[in-house]
Structure 1
């Protein structure tokens, strides 16, 4: 969903679009194949939704870590699906993204994003939907979507407003500026920044501490916080506007892919 850089050539052996593992109380979801900076197709976003809901239904799971394959989180949606797509197909793609984000927000256990590389566009929205975000100092996070003719939906804006406030949200959505790790924490869009080499250890240690707490109490925390956010989530659930300004979108996609 973003014009952030995407590698063109997939590896010889392509891993699944989304891989979910639940070998113990801490589950992990790995995004992408490592190609195109883990930009996901519409089917990939559906796999994210399905994986999150399945893990949330697993009573043995106490927390979920979401990370990208390789050295990046997720550069958004795979725009190679869109050059000749009909409006209905484009709308379906955005509906699949939103369903994935809602699944994260509705998951009964904490979902933690570990962000290396880039989390942009839909990748940024996925991170914002998580309960906590830990980010590498050199990573970049933001929503450079206006230049593609993508219409920021109320739910997109709401996730950012809830964390960073309306003024910062306006600035980032108007300009498409990406924030590095320290700037993302300062803006409220991430919770902790560290050197990339330390990030996975920090994430695992912190999520391990969450998993050590009584599971009913942790689920109660998530439910309580979700209840405070319910009014804005409910108010922005329905969007009557199209996902894109079609002419601008087609031009933006063609320019990017060209």
Structure 2
């Protein structure tokens, strides 16, 4: 199993800016169930801080998040798989419910649940070699209404359907065109661009920014409530899911074997 690391949370600008670095720094920051729970706890601790003005979420070692650690699902029970999905959703909801803007700083891949985590952020700034998408159908994962809602809210129904049906990953430039990202910049400029966004937010009235987030969240609330109301049932077609996990792990082991030769 991957190392389970608590998200690293640092503060700057007199404590007004929190930076959360997620993932173990290996396997493209694919997260275990415990990793998702750690994100929820870290974000929850920030939610009551009245001095906080903005949060940045990024992945360790040059990757955002490749979703869940598939190895955790090898021969897992249905209950364990469902618990994992519940923790993914709880982490994303915690990000959405923060009262201050959250910036997703995306390098590498934001895939599957990693895509959902990025979409839970208010703003997404991507490096030009980053990608984002929901390649979950191949694993027999039945997309939840909450997952579909986030994708539809930012990209529209037509794009959401195409990406969910095909599992296609989207490059950063196309992500901006689709509304999945706010900006695409060269990798070496990503830190500077995110810092510029932070400075713009800090230059505005803190009360006004919080009110703006609350107002937009209120507009989105009916869809989120509806998504929660119809959620339920298994997140996977279990037979297809088990086959998909086995095939994924087989490809991963075969590639590791080739590289080791």
Say yes or no: TM over 0.5: yes
Q: What is the CA–CA distance in structure 2 between the aligned matches of 1:82 and 1:236, rounded to whole Å? A: 25
Between Structure 1 and Structure 2, the one with more helix by share is 2
Q: What is the CA–CA distance in structure 1 between the aligned matches of 2:236 and 2:94, rounded to whole Å? A: 23
**Would you say the 8 A contact 2:126–2:190 is kept in 1?**
yes
Any residues of structure 2 matched to 1:158-197 within 5 Å, and which?
Answer: 158-197=149-188
Shift of 1:15: 8.0
Q: What is the CA–CA distance in structure 1 between the aligned matches of 2:191 and 2:5, rounded to whole Å? A: 21
Look up the SS of the partner of 1:61 in the other structure: coil
* Per-residue CA distance 1:38-88 (angstroms, 9 max, x = gap): 011111111111111111211221100000001110000111111111101
Q: Which residue of 1 aligns with 2:41?
A: 50
* Per-residue CA distance 1:226-247 (angstroms, 9 max, x = gap): 0000010000014123110101
Q: What is the CA–CA distance in structure 2 between the aligned matches of 1:172 and 1:86, rounded to whole Å? A: 28
Q: What is the CA–CA distance in structure 2 between the aligned matches of 1:202 and 1:192, rounded to whole Å? A: 9
Q: What is the CA–CA distance in structure 2 between the aligned matches of 1:100 and 1:237, rounded to whole Å? A: 14
Q: What is the CA–CA distance in structure 2 between the aligned matches of 1:255 and 1:19, rounded to whole Å? A: 33
**Would you say the 8 A contact 2:4–2:35 is kept in 1?**
no
**Would you say the 8 A contact 1:22–1:61 is kept in 2?**
no
Q: Which residue of 1 aligns with 2:61?
A: 70
Counterpart check, 1:138 vs 2:129: yes
* Per-residue CA distance 1:145-187 (angstroms, 9 max, x = gap): 0000000011100001111110000000000001111000001
Q: Over aligned residues, Cα RMSD in angstroms?
A: 1.3
Q: What is the CA–CA distance in structure 2 between the aligned matches of 1:20 and 1:246, rounded to whole Å? A: 36
Q: What is the CA–CA distance in structure 1 between the aligned matches of 2:113 and 2:6, rounded to whole Å? A: 15
**Would you say the 8 A contact 1:52–1:107 is kept in 2?**
yes
**Would you say the 8 A contact 1:17–1:40 is kept in 2?**
no
Number of residue pairs the alignment of both structures matches: 247
* Per-residue CA distance 1:69-124 (angstroms, 9 max, x = gap): 01110000111111111101100000000001111111101011000000000000
Counterpart check, 1:247 vs 2:247: no
Counterpart check, 1:117 vs 2:108: yes
Look up the SS of the partner of 2:9 in the other structure: strand
Match of 1:256 among 248, 252, 261: 248
Unaligned runs of 5+ in 1: 1-7
Shift of 1:205: 1.7
Any residues of structure 2 matched to 1:28-107 within 5 Å, and which?
Answer: 28-107=19-98
4+ residue segments displaced more than 3 Å: none
Q: Which residue of 1 aligns with 2:9?
A: 20
Shift of 1:208: 2.1
Q: What is the CA–CA distance in structure 2 between the aligned matches of 1:17 and 1:68, rounded to whole Å? A: 12
* Range 204-213 or range 62-71, more displaced: 204-213
Q: TM-score, normalised by structure 2?
A: 0.92
Look up the SS of the partner of 1:237 in the other structure: helix
